Structure 1
Amino acid sequence: MHLSRKNFLRISSVFAAGTLAGTPGRVLSSILAPGAGNLMGNRFLTFNCVIRVNQIEVARDKNVGMDEREMHTPERLKAFREAVEAGFPGAKMTWAFSWLALNDMTDNYVKIREQVRECHHRYGDDVTFIPGAYFANAYNSIEQVNKDLHDGIALASGIVGNGYRPKSIVAGFLAAKNMQYLAETENIHVCQGNIWSQFSIDNQDGDGSVCYPYYPSKEHFCKPAQGKSDFIDCVNLDGWTVDFMAARRAGFAEHFNSRMGVGPIETIGAFGASTGLKEMMHSTAIHFDTGYQLNGFAWVTNCWELSLPIDVSGLRDWLSAIKTRWPATRVITQGEFGLIWRKHFTSNNFNYRFTERGSGIGGSDADKEIRWFMNKDFRLALLRNWQESAPEKVVDFTRYDVPAKEPDTLTRKWSLLGEINQKGTRPQDTPIPLDQLSANDRALIRRRVPDLR
């Protein structure tokens, strides 16, 4: 049985009481100086935790999930934060409160807000707001989301006090006009505003973006800005690092979870502590090993809901394994990471590359190899059976140098689907050899990736 995040929480809630306890092209990173304020030469891990009252608070006065009050206790938060510190001493993280969690005056939530304020002062954690429980624009107008952002940021700031302002927003998905509002009105320049590759799962789709940071276009939050006229000065971050091999599927196609990666539901929850940790480390290594060599820096991000009925020892063990294998990893808030990226990249002149061979767990096919190329102009994925020395085929080619448009009605469909999309849901998505792309497409690819033949 394969569960979405929403259904996993619904079915597992009965167990809750028992579980509470850059530079373009290849970069030789070895010659880079990984200073504390530098992007290049560093491995980064950002970790977020969502605190809410209802499972899916789609609006201030509307919920479509279950009540989670009993799953949010001061004891649970204490154990959670101690697991982070035990796994990676000195780690900083980001706490994101929902609208109801910011306003609930019951004893547990009052104490939880006090605890998070203490975490800010003790560990340097960031405290912020999440609008609409990951799916704000599927249920609310642009104007309402802006109002929610303004009021929610003020309430989150009030938890810490003394003029504090969050360094970022956690949003799941967030429309381009709302990111523009964050940058221009709220002076917040980092937003977790896309969930890379999400399609046919949970309450909103948003496939089509770059999986590493980028400045979004005013046309569509999945599209990198092409120039000054469509540039939004808000660094758009992914929400969960996923296994590229699993992510090429739509939803639960072939009985696999397309969201498998570093997230606990799809790993620890699905396969148990040992195999789950193995897949989490595999997904981490895609970036911290080969990705680091290809891009000159590496980034992994994760998000847990505080209400997850998964023992926090799984979080501790993952962080501890990272500390052991990559001890110099910088575990900082997503706002700090986004601002470091923003300092290095003042425009979308990135040229990311990633390579993965599957882990053999779940939908991560052990006999397959995938290569991704992502830049301002396009994203391109090539897949092959490496065990059979089969030729590569294009499984995704999405051009960003063409017009895009976000929905103007309330809908779950916010994806930016290109000529060929990795999910394979349209007839045109049939994989093809690279040389079968149009001459114009191949010329564009050669300009960005001249060594690709």
Structure 2
Amino acid sequence: MKQIFVIILLICTSISVPVQGQSPLSSPDKLMGNRFLTFNTIIRVNQIEVSRDRNEGLDERSMHTPERVIAFREAISSEFPEARITWAFSWLALHDMSDNYKKIRKLVAEYHYKYGDDVTFIPGAYFANAYNTREQVNKDLHEGLAKVSEIVGNGFRPKSVLAGFMAAENQQYLAEKEGIHVCQGNIWSQFSIDNQDGDGAVSYPFYPSKEHFCKPAQGKDDFIDCVNLDGWTMDFLAARRDGFADGFNSRMGVGPIETLYTYGKLVGLTQMMHTTAMHYDRGFELNGFAWVTNCWELSLPIDVSGLKDWLNEIKRNWPDVKFITQGEFGLLWREHYKDNSFNYRFEQKGSGIGGSDYNLKISWFMNKDFRLAITRDWQRNGRENVIDFTNYTLKASEPKDMTRKWSLLGEINQKQSRPQDNPRPIKELSPEATSLIKKYYPYLLDKK
């Protein structure tokens, strides 16, 4: 606990001085050289609307009011006046005829014209393919997107779709039939938590393969022209855990449930900033651009002052951040990358909060052919161990039936849910693995 409060003190001290001469937010025209923030919110009627007529959660009507929508949007514009966010309506929220939902739809449509916000549809409340056939999901997408266009008017068309998880076939449908080329279609590292698993993907944007939505396309034959985005920026050390293993929430990062709601404002904000800084500082150096994304459901019982504090600290520390919609960001990535020629790298030390072990450092390597994660106990000068190697050059397949199990588990997986997943030195991986790693990062195999 002492380490936690030392970290809190250091971070709070480092972010207490505002940056002078901040320039107004501008619309970026390129991916590289920029730090991006995307922010999504969901408006629904029931907690988990897994299909048009089936609900797995509580009725949330009382938590969706015009007043709440106004306060939420004003909290964002008070810190980033030119911010553009993404609003996603569930099927029932698009069609509910009560006065509150009529007013909410009108308000959000007005925000598109006032702020440039994007308005879109979320099928199945994060888990569409776990409860619906691919044919039904396509039908929901077509009719849901048409309803959004009708509500906003003037020929409006969303720049992206918010989906939680989205099967490859449905992302292909979005691109080829609906003309939408950005989808928040994977929740990076999710496993043994909520209603669907989907570990195995790349955490930054990629074009998915026709074989599996977690697999980057390997070439023209399996290429889907839909930029697949993560839903929440995670603390990489917390995210390596299996669900709630050891009493920690593996989803901890910038999301409010796992931070502000769980630990309170001071510790929660410290964790949110720790995760944010990992991308905007070292991540920016390694990748040439940086991206943080958050999804804050409108119904969450968390005071918007926590949201304002997080945004304010981002603005203080990185005044050049471009706060745009996820669709705009995905299209900038699509303009820069015509194929999966990315080579992402990330490095993070633990925060000491929750499952983010203070004594560990994690390094991630992600490219078209594989993803690789290595951890090391830096306090004890421990050896490096591989905790994840997922070979994307191998054939993959999605479930044919409706199920929660959609993960793409490789030779060794970070969740350690199988006997083969025990961490081990890199040279103890298979010859196929070490050959691929040597192609990209030969220095990793040269270490003693």
Which range, TM-score by smaller chain? Answer: over 0.9
The one of 215, 227, 232 equivalent to 2:219 is 227
Over the residues paired in the alignment, what is the CA RMSD in angstroms?
0.9
Alignment pair present for 1:413 and 2:400: no
SS of residue paired to 2:101:
helix
Question: Is 1:351 the counterpart of 2:340 in the alignment?
Answer: no
Residue 289 of structure 1 and its aligned partner are, at CA, apart by 0.5
Distance 2:93 2:218 in 1: 38
8 Å CA contact 2:27–2:322 kept in 1: the answer is no
Q: Is the 8 A contact 1:216 1:224 kept in 2?
A: yes
Counterpart among 176, 195, 210 of residue 187 in structure 2: 195
CA shift, 1:441, in A, is 1.3
* Corresponding residue number in structure 2 for 1:314: 306
Q: Match for residue 155 of structure 2?
A: 163
> After the TM superposition, which segments of 4 or more aligned residues of structure 1 sit over 4 Å from their partners?
none
1:426 corresponds to which of 411, 418, 426: 418
Give 1:334's aligned residue.
326
Q: Is residue 292 of structure 1 aligned with residue 255 of structure 2?
A: no
Question: When the two structures are superposed, what TM-score results if normalisation uses the length of structure 2?
Answer: 0.93
Equivalent in the alignment of 2:203: 211
Matching residue of 1:72: 64
Structure 1, residues 210-260: CA drift from partner, whole Å, max 9, x if none?
A: 000000000000000000000000000000001000000011000000000
Provide the C-alpha distance between the structure 2 equivalents of 1:36 and 1:199, rounded to a whole number of angstroms: 35
Letter in 2 for 1:316: K
Letter in 1 for 2:365: F
Residue 94 of structure 1 aligns with which residue? 86
Per-residue deviation, 1:65: 0.5
Q: What TM-score, normalized to structure 1?
A: 0.92
CA distance in 2, matches of 1:144, 1:185: 15
Query: Contact between 1:87 and 1:315, CA under 8 Å: does it hold in 2?
Result: no
User: Counterparts of 1:450 and 1:435 in 2: how far apart (Å)?
Assistant: 12
Q: Is 1:121 aligned to residue 134 of structure 2? A: no
% same residue: 70
User: Which of residues 29, 43, 47 is equivalent to 1:37?
Assistant: 29
User: 2:315 corresponds to which letter in structure 1?
Assistant: K
SS in 2 for 1:355: strand
Q: What is the letter of the counterpart of residue 66 of structure 1?
A: L
1:122-165 deviations in Å (ceiling 9; x for gaps): 11000000000000000000000000000000011112101100
SS at match of 1:67: coil
Q: Does 1:277 align with 2:269?
A: yes
Which of residues 438, 443, 447 in structure 2 aligns to 1:446? 438
Matched, 1:47 2:35: no
| Residue range with higher mean Cα deviation, 434-443 or 369-378 | 434-443
CA distance in 2 between counterparts of 1:119 and 1:447 reads 48
Structure 2 unmatched ranges of 5 or more? 1-25
Equivalent of 2:167, from 139, 162, 175?
175
Preserved contact between residue 218 and residue 232 of structure 1 (Cα < 8 Å): yes
Q: Distance in 2 between matches of 1:312 and 1:72?
A: 14
Cα drift, residue 89 of structure 1: 2.0
| In structure 2, C-alpha distance between the alignment counterparts of 1:139 and 1:371, rounded to whole Å | 35
Deviation for aligned residue 1:35: 8.3
50, 55, 58: which one pairs with 1:63?
55
Partner of 1:402: 394
Cα separation, 1, equivalents of 2:419 and 2:432: 21
Q: Distance in 2 between matches of 1:299 and 1:229?
A: 29
Contact (CA 8 Å) 1:249, 1:422: kept in 2 or not?
yes
Unaligned 5+ runs, structure 1: 1-33
Query: Separation in 2 of the partners of 1:176 and 1:326?
Result: 35
Measure how far apart 1:452 and its partner are.
2.2
Q: Corresponding residue for 1:251?
A: 243
AA aligned to 2:147 is L
Is 2:183–2:227's contact at 8 Å kept on the other side of the alignment?
Answer: yes
Q: Which amino acid aligns with 1:93?
A: I
Letter in 2 for 1:342: R
Q: How far did 1:343 drift?
A: 0.2
